Amino acid sequence: MKFPQSRIGAIALFLGATVALEACWMTTGGVYPARTLFQTTCVLLIGTVFVGANIWLNRVFLQMDGLPKSALGLAVRELPWFFAGCAIAVLVIFAMAGTLRLMVPFHWVRGALGWHELAGQFSRYLIGNSVEELIFRGYLLVMLRRWLGLPRALAITGVLFGLFHLPGMSGIAALKMVCTTAGMSVVFAMAYVRTKSLWTAIGVHVSANMLLHRVLGMSGEQQSMFRMQIDGRWPAGYDPGLIAYFSVIAVAALWLSRKTEVKVLRG
């Protein structure tokens, strides 16, 4: 079905406003150090303003299209879905680690990040990932799904989410970044669609990033609590990390998508 011209303008305006807010966050709270309790509190306070602004924008655009502002599922009573999302992320990330270990034996060693620094990292991911969910899995996903159906909505938001993470990268690294973030975008989106609460997607997003980058160090980050130590050599002919990654998120996306409505709006 052809997407209404008027909605294209609304989506473009929405994306422009939300990305501008994200840029403001990245140049203020996003670069503010969060090593002490005071600094972490400041980051959370600054970030809360940006998250609140994004929620307001989403609700304004939803209501402009005749949809209830509750469509985001972000009421306080729905907060338990955040913890459900955290549980999903734990299962997904440890399934990735287990799958990878079957192909390339490894063990974890202690990393450089301490417990006190982990709180500061969590505050950054909580704010930053909440904003990203509001940009890509809020009004944008709702409207694309409404007019184009779920599969195409997932594809479009996935590609946009992947390109959003592209700045500063090039070559094979850039291609991997777009593909991996686009793939995980489907899991985030299906977590929201399945539970009808964006809290779930935020929980999955924050916890997956924390585990991958700051706790288990599976992305190669040096500033993590633990680091992966490969027992032997990393294979030269293929990338077992990508195989483990995509096999697990494919299973997770399929599990979350079972019996999900995929109709296109007719009118």
Answer whether residue 124 shows pLDDT above 60: yes
Mean pLDDT of 114-141: 90
Place of tokens 């505050």: 123
pLDDT tens-digit series, residues 77-99: 999 999 999 999 999 999 999 99
Q: Residue 197 and residue 187: Cα distance in Å, rounded?
A: 14
Parse the chain into domains and list their residue ranges. 5-257
Average pLDDT of the chain is 88
Candidates 267, 260, 20; CA nearest to 141 is 260
Taking only the tens place, the pLDDT of each residue in 14-36 is 999 988 888 887 777 655 666 67
At 5 the pLDDT is: 64
Prediction pTM value: 0.90
pLDDT tops 90 at residue 260: no
Question: What confidence score (pLDDT) does residue 264 get?
Answer: 42
Say whether pLDDT at 75 is over 90. yes
Taking only the tens place, the pLDDT of each residue in 212-243 is 999 999 987 778 999 999 998 888 888 999 99
Strand-pair partners of 229: 107
Distance of alpha carbon 21 from alpha carbon 26, whole angstroms: 9
